[in-house]
Amino acid sequence: MDTNIGALNSCKPPCNDVGSPPNGAAAAIQGTAPAHAAVSPPDATMGRHLARRLVQIGVTDVFSVPGDFNLTLLDHLIAEPGLNLIGCCNELNAGYAADGYARARGVGACVVTFTVGGLSVLNAIAGAYSENLPVVCIVGGPNSNDYGTNRVLHHTIGLPDFSQELRCFQTVTCFQAVVNNLEDAHELIDTAISTALKESKPVYISIGCNLPATPHPTFSREPVPFALSPKLTNQMGLEAAVEAAADFLNKAVKPVMVGGPKLRVAKACEAFVELADAGGYAVAVMPSAKGLVPEHHPHFIGTYWGAVSTAFCAEIVESADAYLFAGPIFNDYSSVGYSLLLKKEKAIILQPDRVVIGNGPAFGCVLMKDFLRALSKRLKRNTTAYENYHRIFVPDGHPLKCEPKEPLRVNVLFKHIQDMLSSESAVIAETGDSWFNCQKLKLPRGCGYEFQMQYGSIGWSVGATLGYAQAVPEKRVIACIGDGSFQVTAQDVSTMLRCGQNTIIFLINNGGYTIEVEIHDGPYNVIKNWNYTGLVEAIHNGEGKCWTAKVFYEEELIEAIKTATGPKKDCLCFIEVIAHKDDTSKELLEWGSRVSAANSRPPNPQ
């Protein structure tokens, strides 16, 4: 412990002598003055390096909340002409925004302050991990001189332990860089960023608050752009896997293909379509992969989600004698409480670098996209499953319409949202009944679609909408958000307004946590009603372009959509839709009972 309590000079300065022992004894190579003092141009700083790196990898917007530990770093990010710093209302939303941004751009970044900010953004980073999104989470950390001392820092839990935040991030990031000296800062930062891109997962970079502005020779030139060595397929494994898969599929009578969420991380969406074109198979998508498989494909048969699949899809998938699942995740939700009627011996399961055929054999080091491409040259065309689907398919019945002054029904709302979709739009679906209602939207070619099905953290969509809209300004984002979820993260509508975004938010006010009601009801599922349009008006506060409407009836909805897509098309449009608390999708009713059954399985006898 310091003898001089709280005195700055009781800390040893950082040692710049290469290889010098900690006690300061003479070392083989010595620098009498800090090495950077003589040779480094004034802008050869770590702050600039990090800013340049972000721009190089395609990040032009960084979501942040300032704090004294990151202010100098933020100065450097602002100084970079290619970077736009977007201040968010809280760190959770900054993290969600980086997640939404990464979905559209391939990578995202956020900057927060030590521990108070770090622990707030953690949930968003865990979500990005679950969805395989490379998000660079940068934390302004302690002064480098304080490492190794017994000091207690503000914004921490009051222990002289700087590793608490780091330990929290270890389980939700694929690499952690604690940059507390300039000697290896260049290497640590570059390794962190390239690992995020290679693994398609978030990384944590903590930057000592006194380091971003100090010149150092390692930053004396423009960073050489990353050239990441691509992952390669083992050719012999590929040939064997394709041989076995072709045998398996070519003898099936009515094979189908189902796209899963890991198509994104495997970068295999196009190869999946190539296989579908070549094989002529019926093509379905898992709910968590919506948006990754083109729904305008001539053999598309809908969303496969067991008992809550879109019409006629489950029947075709489950009755097939062979199915190829590309990048699936079968969790309790996507398997509808473990109730899928699939058999492993009928399945080929592709993971990003692995192929498993039936109950075996399995082939490792085979990249999904290479496998799909090679297999497409070996498949016999077989359109039987698609023809069966086509034969049994009954188109929707009467067009939905509410009677005049009949309270608006959610199905009618989504019929109108369907009509708004085009290649210039993107749908963001929040956890809740919006999952099921949005799942049934038929996406036109080029229409984006995002939701967070693996992690399912309510409130995600507000930040993700902010980030996604910022990443793709040419698209109009349509966000479908339940009232309960909106209450978690509503503040960052403020940031959308500041950024001049023209998103349309449909706030579905059904008075509570309806999805939870259908799993297990209780008084805790009723929430306090807010005046949501009033709240957004208050956030707007006369600054920025904003338009709100509260709709009770279909006619009002039609009018609101007309205004939002016409005279108010440059505004952030917030449409609060009043719905009955029991107005749920039929899929939620079915899914809720099955998930409830899975949750309430009694303990096995010991």
Ligand X SMILES: Cc1ncc(C[n+]2csc(CCOP(=O)(O)OP(=O)(O)O)c2C)c(N)n1
Instruction: Please state the closest distance from residue 475 (CB atom) to ligand X, in A.
Output: 23
**Residue 233 engages ligand X in binding (rule: CB under 6 A):** no
Stretch that binds Mg ion, among 117-125, 216-224, 482-490, 586-594 (CB under 5 A): 482-490
**Residue 433 engages ligand X in binding (rule: CB under 6 A):** yes
Q: Mention every residue, 6+ apart, whose C-beta is less than 8 A from residue 26.
A: 20
Considering only residues 458 to 487 of the shown chain, the ones binding ligand X according to CB under 6 A are 458, 482-485
Distance CA(353)–CA(327), nearest Å, equals 10
DSSP 10: G
Instruction: Please state the closest distance from residue 508 (CB atom) to ligand X, in A.
Output: 6
**Residue 482 engages Mg ion in binding (rule: CB under 5 A):** yes
Helix (H) or strand (E) holding 204: strand 203-208
Is the CB of 458 or the CB of 549 nearer to ligand X? 458
Binding-site member from 484, 503, 532, 535 for Mg ion (CB under 5 A): 484
Instruction: Please state the closest distance from residue 531 (CB atom) to ligand X, in A.
Output: 16
Which single residue is written with the structure tokens 């209780």?
522
Both tokens assigned to 183 = 């000697």
Both tokens assigned to 177 = 């860089």
Is the CB of 458 or the CB of 504 nearer to Mg ion? 458
Q: What are phi and psi of 390, to 5 degrees?
A: -60, -40
**Residue 456 engages ligand X in binding (rule: CB under 6 A):** yes
**Residue 590 engages Mg ion in binding (rule: CB under 5 A):** no
**Residue 592 engages ligand X in binding (rule: CB under 6 A):** no
HEC secondary structure over 278-304:
HHCCEEEECHHHCCCCCCCCCCEEEEC
Is the CB of 45 or the CB of 585 nearer to ligand X? 585
431 binds, among ligand X, Mg ion, none (CB under 5 to 8 A by kind): ligand X
CA 535 to chain centre: 27
Distance CA(142)–CA(160), nearest Å, equals 11
Question: Contact at 8 Å (CB) between 278 and 408?
Answer: no
433 binds, among ligand X, Mg ion, none (CB under 5 to 8 A by kind): ligand X
For 545, other C-beta atoms within 10 Å of its C-beta total 14
Instruction: Please state the closest distance from residue 438 (CB atom) to ligand X, in A.
Output: 11
**Residue 483 engages Mg ion in binding (rule: CB under 5 A):** yes
Give the nearest residue (CB) to Mg ion. Answer: 482
**Residue 459 engages Mg ion in binding (rule: CB under 5 A):** no
Instruction: Please state the closest distance from residue 510 (CB atom) to ligand X, in A.
Output: 5
315, 431, 480 from 332: Cα distances, Å: 20, 15, 23
Helix (H) or strand (E) holding 411: helix 410-420
Distance CA(535)–CA(537), nearest Å, equals 5
Count, in order, helices (H) and strands (E) of the chain: 22, 19
**Residue 431 engages ligand X in binding (rule: CB under 6 A):** yes
516 binds, among Mg ion, ligand X, none (CB under 5 to 8 A by kind): ligand X
485 binds, among ligand X, Mg ion, none (CB under 5 to 8 A by kind): ligand X
For ligand X, the binding residues (CB under 6 A) are 430-434, 456-458, 482-485, 510, 512-516
Contacts with Mg ion, residue ranges (CB under 5 A)? 482-484, 510, 514
